[in-house]
Amino acid sequence: MKYQIEKQGEEIVIRFQEVGGNATAVIDAIGRCRRNAWSCTSGECMKIDDMAACEENGSLALRLRPRPDLSLDVASLGECLKYQLPQHLDGESDS
């Protein structure tokens, strides 16, 4: 699986390609991080207020909004993904 992380205004959009039938596992992994960031090295996911998954041009996209008065960092979310994605799903980042 490949992914790209980009900032769009206050939101961060993570686009996953080549997810296959693993979309639910990807969403669950990020949701776990959002709820249990104490185990993540970056802690960035604790700043996520809202998370919405959608399909964009045949790939899975996650739109992340920060909690009020906070901002999300692309590099820190990349570290979070490397830590949280199930090992069999972890792949190359295009970010």
Tens of pLDDT, residues 49-83: 999 998 877 788 999 999 999 999 999 888 887 77
- Structure-derived torsion over alpha carbons of residues 91, 40, 61, 58, reported in degrees to the nearest 10: 20
Give me the pLDDT at residue 56, please. 79
Q: What angle is formed at CA 29 by the lines to CA 68 and CA 85, rounded to 5 degrees?
A: 115
Q: Cβ contacts of residue 51 below 8 Å, gap of 6+?
A: 27, 30, 31, 34, 62, 63, 64, 65
- Has residue 33 been placed in a domain? yes
Which range, 5-9, 33-37, 81-85, 90-94, is most confident?
A: 5-9
- Has residue 92 been placed in a domain? no
- Has residue 9 been placed in a domain? yes
- What is the SS3 string spanning 37-56? HHHCCCCHHHHEEEEEEEEE
Q: Number of folded domains in the chain?
A: 1
- Has residue 95 been placed in a domain? no
- Has residue 22 been placed in a domain? yes
- Has residue 19 been placed in a domain? yes
pTM of the complete model: 0.79
Q: Any idea what the CATH number is for the domain that residue 25 is in? A: 3.30.1360
Identify the domain containing residue 47 by its residue range. Answer: 2-84
